[in-house]
Amino acid sequence: MWTQRVNVPMSGELQQWPSTRKFRFRIFIRSFERPTNRACKKIEQGLDNKIYKIRPRISGGIATSYAEYPHMAGIMYASNMLRCGGSLIDKRFVLTAAHCANPENDTAVQVVLGVNDFNDATQTETRQDINIKKIHVHPNYDVFGLYNDIAVIELDRDA
**Over 11-66, what HEC string results?**
CCCCEEEEECCCCCCCCCCCCCCCHHHHHHHHHHCCCCCCCCCCCCCCCCCCCCCC
* Greatest CA separation for the chain: 73
Contact 73, 127 (CB under 8 A): no
Q: What is the mean pLDDT of the chain?
A: 75
Collapsing DSSP states into helix, strand and coil, what is residue 129?
strand
pLDDT tens, residue by residue, 99-157: 998 777 788 899 999 888 777 777 788 889 999 999 999 999 988 877 899 999 999 99
Q: What is the pLDDT of residue 72?
A: 92
Inter-CA distances, 52 with 75, 96, 103, Å: 28, 28, 24
Neighbours of 95 (CB within 10 A): 15
Contact 39, 47 (CB under 8 A): no
Q: What is the pLDDT of residue 7?
A: 46
pLDDT tens, residue by residue, 21-37: 555 555 555 556 666 66
pLDDT tens, residue by residue, 29-76: 555 666 666 766 766 665 444 444 444 545 567 777 777 888 999 999
CATH of domain 72-155: 2.40.10.10
pLDDT at 14 over 60: no
Amino acid at 66: Y
Collapsing DSSP states into helix, strand and coil, what is residue 86?
strand
